[in-house]
Structure 1
Amino acid sequence: MHDDVSRPVRSAYSERVLPGPLGWFLTVAAGGVMAAVFYPVSTALALAAGVVTFVAAVVFALRTSPLVRVADDELWVGEAHIPLALLASPRALDREQTRHETGPGYDPRAHVVLRAWAGTAVRVEVVDPADPTPYWLVSTRQPERLAAAIGAGSR
């Protein structure tokens, strides 16, 4: 019997980085635009096209919104994960600092998971000498809480 299968997951932090109000408005707008395009052809077709487009836009928004979590001594961002023991110096970034990190402060070797609809992020250094990735840069709406969860687990 595998112990890790029956062991409960300890989660210190969890957040799905969903679009903001504008993003959700655009999903509705996309459905409305498609309905308007097909309205001259058929009301039923317009309704169907609008609903299908809206549902597709919602699914797209959800599928492109990564789950960021600190659980069982690992940082998970979508499917990527790294042990907290290999991380150091988590830093909560405001909008301006996040812009700097994606512009003049950007290192192309970094592991970056950013979403435009979340203007803040956390930068955390990778201290594994065998890993060529210098740091992770991760979108979050709660950078202080995520940085604190990473910092508490990496000690």
Structure 2
Amino acid sequence: MHEYREKLWPSPWVFLATALVIPASLLVLLPISLFAGIVTAIVFYGGIVLVLALTSPRIEVADGILTAGHARISIEQLGEVECFDGAEATAERGPRMDMRAWLLIRGWITSIVRIEITDPNDPAPYWIISTRNPQKLAAAIEGSRRPVSDS
């Protein structure tokens, strides 16, 4: 059985950029109280880190199901899987994208997979999913399609 799991954690630069709440809190509250400024800065930054961690979606291929965030679909309903990176990924997320596509995109992850949906009743023609390991995700989906032989 081919299984795949990935959590779309924010990149380190996201945590660094959000750390700007620390000096901002200190700047606002230092004239009032040094202690209040430090406590507020710690609480705000801790809250941001917690929200980023809790809202990071998971991608999983297991038991014939692809799960991406809160969405789930049977591998049997998936068609061609294509991997994109760099300018090609940007084009797939932008000018080439069908507005009916289902998206799980994170701006801090540059590579994506585009997965065709073969179910005629599904309004989305394909899914676009951000992933740091597009080839591994594609291989897991392809591997899940093949029946395991007992011989």
Common topology (TM > 0.5)? yes
**Residue 35 and residue 140 in structure 1: after superposition, are their counterparts in 2 closer, same or farther (change >3 A)?**
same
1:79 maps to 2:70: yes
Please, which of 115, 123, 128 is the counterpart of residue 114 of structure 2?
123
Aligned length: 146
1:63 is the counterpart of 2:63: no
Indicate the larger mover: 29-38 or 127-136: 29-38
* One-letter amino acid of the structure 2 residue matched with residue 72 of structure 1: D
Match of 2:20, SS?
helix
Task: Look up the SS of the partner of 2:139 in the other structure.
Answer: helix
Do residues 89 (structure 1) and 73 (structure 2) align?
Answer: no
- Distance, in Å, in 2 between the alignment partners of 1:83 and 1:43 is 55
Partner of 1:47: 38
The alignment partner of 2:56 has SS state of coil
User: How far apart in 2 are the matches of 1:11 and 1:47?
Assistant: 48
Kindly report structure 1 stretches of 4+ aligned residues shifted beyond 6 Å.
none
Unaligned runs of 5+ in 2: 147-151
1:26 is matched with which residue? 17
TM-score normalised by length of structure 2: 0.90
How many Å separate the matches in 2 of 1:146 and 1:35? 43
Aligned-residue offset at 1:152: 1.3
Percent pairwise identity:
34
1:7 corresponds to: none
> Unpaired runs of 5+ in structure 1?
1-9
Q: How does the TM-score come out when normalised to structure 1?
A: 0.88
In 2: Cα distance, 1:43 partner to 1:11 partner: 54
Tell me, in whole angstroms, the C-alpha distance in 1 between the residues paired with 2:45 and 2:82. 37
State the alpha-carbon separation in 2 of the partners of residues 34 and 131 from structure 1. 47
